[in-house]
């Protein structure tokens, strides 16, 4: 069974801990970051961590982090000990990676930090339809959620929203590999009405950013 992951922002209880962060050594220089990537995948986190603790841990070593998105299971909500952190600058992100390489620990666990560029690409959508796997039968009573597969790794959220118009997407949940944090080229979109999903399903096989997209009921 394919594991469905979602990203959620958790503002959780504030719990600053002076012992949250331990660095066996302090890098003097950030790692190379020629593309100035400001977002990182942060893995092997303690399951008890919250947003405030993670942000304050980075702050204690002089790194400014702004946003945290947790990787959780869509169905159970279980936390996988991974997150995506957007830093104030590419320099902060590069220093975070340097600290990870030096053995940085947060809440007594060595964290794995690596660059994870934001998805970006050409803002164009092709509507040429190509043969693709047939969709499954419509669930009884319909569904407000559709699965999207074979997506371009350069796809932006706004591109998917435009592709689905006039249907209105309420929420998008991208799928990521648990260990690496890499985008899996798939995701789920929740719409406001089941009838909108029925219409979007008809676009199964159309090109989206140069790839025939697979759309199915979820």
pLDDT digits (tens), the chain, 218 positions: 344 444 444 443 333 334 688 988 899 999 999 888 898 999 999 999 999 999 999 999 999 998 888 887 666 777 888 888 989 999 999 999 999 999 999 999 999 999 988 764 333 344 444 445 678 899 999 999 999 999 888 788 888 998 999 999 999 999 988 777 888 889 999 999 999 999 999 999 888 877 889 999 99
CB count, 10 Å around CB of 212?
17
Joined together, the tokens standing for residue 82 give: 């991974």
pTM, 2 dp: 0.53
Contacts of residue 160, defined as CB under 8 A and 6 or more positions apart, other chains included, come to: 148, 151, 169, 172, 187, 189, 208
With tokens 């690409």, the residue in question is 121
CA–CA separation, 101 vs 156, rounded Å?
A: 30
What are the distances in angstroms from CA 201 to CA 44, 137, 164, 194, 212? 37, 11, 9, 11, 13
């Amino acid at each position: 069974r394919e594991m469905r992951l979602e990203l959620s922002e958790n503002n959780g209880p504030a719990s600053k801990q002076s012992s949250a962060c331990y660095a066996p050594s302090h890098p003097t220089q950030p790692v190379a970051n020629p593309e100035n990537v400001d977002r990182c995948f942060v893995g092997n986190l303690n399951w008890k961590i919250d947003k405030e603790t993670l942000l304050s841990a980075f702050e204690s070593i002089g790194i400014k982090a702004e946003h945290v998105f947790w990787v959780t299971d869509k169905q159970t909500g279980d936390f996988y000990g991974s997150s995506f952190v957007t830093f104030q600058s590419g320099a902060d992100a590069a220093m975070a990676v340097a600290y990870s390489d030096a053995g940085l620990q947060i809440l007594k666990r060595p964290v794995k930090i690596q660059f994870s560029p934001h998805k970006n690409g050409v803002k164009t959508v092709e509507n040429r339809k190509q043969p693709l796997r047939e969709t499954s039968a419509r669930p009884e009573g319909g569904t407000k959620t559709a699965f999207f597969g074979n997506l371009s790794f350069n796809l932006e959220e706004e591109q998917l929203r435009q592709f689905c118009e006039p249907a209105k997407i309420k929420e998008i949940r991208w799928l990521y590999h648990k260990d690496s944090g890499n985008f899996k080229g798939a995701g789920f979109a929740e719409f406001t009405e089941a009838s909108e999903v029925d219409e979007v399903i008809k676009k199964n096989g159309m090109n989206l950013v140069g790839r025939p997209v697979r759309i199915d009921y979820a």
